[in-house]
Amino acid sequence: MNISQLKKSGHWPTLATSFLYFDVSFMVWTILGALGALIAPSLGLNAQQKFLMVSTPILAGAVLRIVLSMLVDRIGTKTTGIIAQLIVITGLVVAWQAGLASLNQALLLGIVLGVAGASFAVALPQSGRWYPPHMQGVVLGLAGAGNVGVVIDHLLAPRIAAIWGWKAVFGAALIPLILAFVLYVIFSKEPPGEFKKKKLSDYAKLLAERDAHWFCFFYTISFGGFVGLATAFAIYFKDQFHLTPVHAGEMAAFCTLVGALGRPMGGAFADKLGGIRSLSIFYSVAAVAMICAALTENLWICGASFFVASGAFGMCNGSVFQLLPQRFAKDISVMTGLVGCGGGLGGFLLGMLFGISKEHTGSYVTGIVLFAGLCLVALIGLSLVKTRWRTTWGATAAAKI
């Protein structure tokens, strides 16, 4: 598959603007993570409260992905995307002008930023529905690679805050948000075809299927690992290695970039090798890298280990979404919401494991190792489903399973 096939097979302006929409949305979704090391001292937060603050947008985004998935089926992907972007822009304007005076205010902002995280449930079906089954891994990987926005956070937010204060970062974030909004309104298009409007009972019906549980679990670990690390890195590197906020942000960006870029690579690998085999490889790499990061006291070994772990989690994300459309093609919008919800819950879990571990043991080791253990559980899960998947729905799928 090459770029010319992407242009011929679907609608590349929608793919491009979906990527941009998800990119800037992901950027503001994790902005509290990038600023956490700066905001926490001004609010007098302890370790657990710090990670609660930076993890709240992740949890809110998890829940709101289901809400936006339902809206997508009722009012369309583009209209849903427009409404969601306007809510986030409004929330950032208020935060820019009023600031944050307490943990409760930071948590309220986190809920609004969760709408940005829920953009996942809009951008992926809007772009994916334009393309055939055998291209889903790469297409959804490219659209989902908008999570590179978290790298922009960690590189720019601490620098802007160092000059104008952390409140000014909210105002600066409005510039790319508004630009992306204008381009999205002008160039993106609603995907072709008729899609049945889903009800809450449809979600309940899908959740009764054990394959839906497995997909949610696999994405809880993969996306949860990526976004959980992304939101925790800045605080972790500052606390663990006593870096300045700017240098901690650089380390966070370094470790996160490969995870963001790894998503389309993971989708491409899954298209070639099969999603199950790809996931097995990437989960194994992530588990080993997380344990190495937890046990070392050397900054560069730790950074390199987290770099590998983030990349592996990113590639897992692309692999999960290579498999998902093959199994749930007719219910992809609902499953995107459900699976995305699982991913957000995983990110919240990892962030809170960081905070609880530090607050109650004085070290981050326990929290990191526990999440690495979940990667091993995911490997066990893959071994349990691979034969059934390959001999049932995988036998007639239009892509490698």
96 burial (CB, 10 Å; 0-12 / 13-18 / 19+) is: middle
- Give CA torsion, residues 31, 35, 40, 43, to 10 deg: -80
- Measured from the Cβ of residue 359, the count of other Cβ atoms closer than 10 Å reads 14
Tokens (6 digits) for 267: 């989708």
Is there a contact between 368 and 294 (Cβ–Cβ < 8 Å)? yes
Torsion 137-139-143-146 (CA) sign: positive
Is the residue at 5 inside a domain? no
Flag whether the pTM goes above 0.75: yes
Angle between helices 149-164 and 31-43 (to 10 degrees): 30
pLDDT, position 264: 79
Is the residue at 401 inside a domain? no
pLDDT, position 144: 59
Is the residue at 323 inside a domain? yes
DSSP, res 145: G
Question: Residue 357 — pLDDT band, cuts 50, 70, 90?
Answer: very high
pLDDT at 37 over 70: yes
Distance CA 266, CA 275 (A): 9
* Number of domains, the chain: 1
Distance CA 63, CA 378 (A): 22
Distance CA 380, CA 17 (A): 38
146-175 exposure pattern, b = at least 16 Cβ within 10 A, e = fewer: bbbbbbbbbbbbbebbeeeebbebbebbbe
Distance CA 160, CA 164 (A): 6
Tokens (6 digits) for 202: 């449809």
Is the residue at 194 inside a domain? no
pLDDT tens-place string over residues 79-116:
999 999 999 999 999 999 998 999 999 999 999 999 99
pLDDT tens-place string over residues 109-150:
999 999 998 887 788 777 777 677 667 666 666 665 666 777
282-302 exposure pattern, b = at least 16 Cβ within 10 A, e = fewer: bbebbbbbbbbbbeeeeeeeb
Find how far residue 127's CA is from the centre of its chain.
17
- Measured from the Cβ of residue 235, the count of other Cβ atoms closer than 10 Å reads 29
Radius of gyration (C-alpha) of the chain in whole angstroms: 20
Q: What is the CATH number of the domain that holds 105?
A: 1.20.1250.20
- Identify the three-state secondary structure at position 189: coil
- Give CA torsion, residues 223, 226, 231, 237, to 10 deg: 160
Which residue, among 212, 164, 191, 190, has the nearest Cα to 66 in the 3D structure? 212
Is the residue at 275 inside a domain? yes
Inter-CA distances, 228 with 79, 243, 293, 310, 372, Å: 29, 20, 15, 10, 12
Is there a contact between 342 and 221 (Cβ–Cβ < 8 Å)? no
Is the residue at 64 inside a domain? yes
pLDDT tens-place string over residues 218-274:
999 999 999 899 889 999 999 999 999 999 999 999 888 888 888 878 988 888 888
Domain of 309? 12-189+199-396
pLDDT tens-place string over residues 170-216:
999 999 999 999 999 999 888 776 666 667 777 788 888 899 999 99
pLDDT at 8 over 70: no
pLDDT, position 395: 81
Is the residue at 1 inside a domain? no
Using the structure block, give the residue that is written with the tokens 């190792």.
Answer: 369
Averaged pLDDT, 21-43: 90
Is the residue at 37 inside a domain? yes
Using the structure block, give the residue that is written with the tokens 């802007």.
Answer: 160
Distance CA 275, CA 133 (A): 13
